[in-house]
Amino acid sequence: MAHRLFRIFLHSTAAALMINGYYGLTKLPINAFISAQYGGHLQYLTIQGLFIACATTLTSLTMDLLPSLTSALKPLKRILLYISMPLSIVVTSIYWPLLLLATQLILQSDGEPSSSSDAPKFTRIPLHLDIALHAVPAITLLVDFLLFEKKYSRTELIYGASTVSILYTTFYAWWVERCASFNGGRFPYPFLTNNPIDIRLAIYVGAGTLGFASFWFINKLHS
């Protein structure tokens, strides 16, 4: 019983934080700038990762509250984890180091904001929203996977995770390039705007590789 209550607490709290984080972002002045661009919030890998992580968490919560649906929803959750876990890890592992060490590469003065006091020239958001957007998804999915999910088999990693990684990396590269073509060559992140296409392609491949390698390593750590 205690085990189930902890699962419900984890999933409900995490889902509430993520939903509140996005809702809070849409209520800030910066929302007008983002919404006016082609692609809106969905230009940002952060927001895509947030939505998919929230969908994964809500699927888990549904199984917690309605155990009779577990057999039907479990395959869906496993598929969602293929996308949400590596994506959330990529977002967290790229965002926070750049935020602290090279703020100008991740934030724009009127683009995606931050709560960092080290970047006074950039639009900032409250710290609790920053954490909800850039930390809660990764932490929640890691805890959920390591405590409540069985590890993926080698076959699932080779054929499932690798295929999803390639497809999603290709999709996001195409999508963000398309958005920039409608937004005057401006990308959601300066490290993309400030680099030519060959460097951007290398960044896309590097991020996709990081996500897949992280997924593989975390799965290996699973008991």
Q: What is the mean pLDDT of each run of 10 residues along the chain (223 residues)?
A: 88 97 92 92 96 97 95 95 94 93 78 45 77 96 95 91 94 98 94 95 96 94 86
Closest of 222, 177, 223, 179 to residue 81, by C-alpha: 222
Domain count, the chain: 1
pLDDT of residue 109: 63
Please state, as a whole number, how many other Cβ atoms lie within 10 Å of the Cβ of residue 82.
22
**In residues, how long is the chain?**
223
- Taking the model in full, what pTM does it have? 0.91
Joined tokens for residue 203: 């960044």
Q: Could you list the residue range(s) of the whole structural domain that residue 123 is in?
A: 2-221
Joined tokens for residue 110: 């009127």
- 3-state class of 179 per DSSP? helix
3-state DSSP: the chain helix, strand, coil percent, rounded to 5?
Answer: 80, 0, 20
Tell me the torsion sign for CA atoms 80, 153, 147, 137: negative
Report residue 98: phi and psi, to 5°.
-70, -35
pLDDT of residue 194: 93
Give the list of residues 6+ apart from residue 36 with CB closer than 8 angstroms, or none. none
